[in-house]
Amino acid sequence: MVVTTWVVVADGSRARIFETPGLKLDLREIQDLVNVVAGGPALSEKDREKFAETVANCVEQGRLHHRYQRLRFAVEPKFLGMLRARLSRETREMIVEEINEDLSALDAREIQAHLRRH
Per-residue pLDDT tens digits for 11-24:
999 999 999 997 67
Rounded-to-integer distance, Cα 16 and Cα 34, Å? 9
HSE of 82, CA atoms in CB hemisphere, 13 A:
21
- How many domains would you assign to the chain? 1
**Which residues have C-beta within 8 Å of that of residue 8, sequence separation ≥ 6?**
15, 16, 17, 18, 55, 59, 71, 72, 73, 74, 75, 83
User: Tens of pLDDT along 9-66?
Assistant: 999 999 999 999 976 778 999 999 998 875 556 788 899 999 999 999 999 999 999 9
- The CATH number of residue 26's host domain is 3.30.420.60
Domain with 45 in it: 4-116
